[in-house]
């Protein structure tokens, strides 16, 4: 297995342009995936406005509760 790592390192050093192109492609793909995940998370699952629920609770209540829609 050590020989595999040595061969891989030699190939990376032998072809620096290909190494750079592959690294950039990975970085761009990870960035696009993370951005898409964040954007879809913000659009499809907006946060619940807890300040509204806090205004509805009785004074002295220590826990938050959200009424169900049954």
Q: What is the pLDDT of residues 2-53, one digit of tens each?
A: 999 999 999 999 999 999 999 999 999 999 999 999 988 888 776 656 556 5
Q: What is the pLDDT of residue 18?
A: 93
Residue among 10, 35, 31 at smallest CA distance from 23: 31
Q: Would you say residue 69 has pLDDT above 90? A: no
Distances from the Cα of 58 to the Cαs of 32, 51, 52, 61, 68, in angstroms? 45, 14, 13, 6, 18
pLDDT score, position 35:
95
So what's the pLDDT on residue 62?
A: 64
pLDDT value for 57: 62
Nearest 10 degrees: CA dihedral of 49, 54, 55, 57?
130
Q: What's the CA angle centered on 52, arms 48 and 36, to 5 degrees?
A: 20
């Amino acid at each position: 297995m050590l020989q595999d790592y040595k061969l891989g390192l030699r190939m990376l050093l032998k072809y620096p342009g290909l190494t750079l192109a592959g690294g950039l492609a990975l970085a761009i793909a990870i960035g696009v995936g993370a951005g898409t995940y964040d954007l879809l998370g913000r659009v499809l699952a907006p946060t619940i406005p807890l300040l509204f629920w806090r205004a509805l609770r009785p004074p002295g209540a220590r826990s938050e509760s959200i009424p169900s829609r049954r």
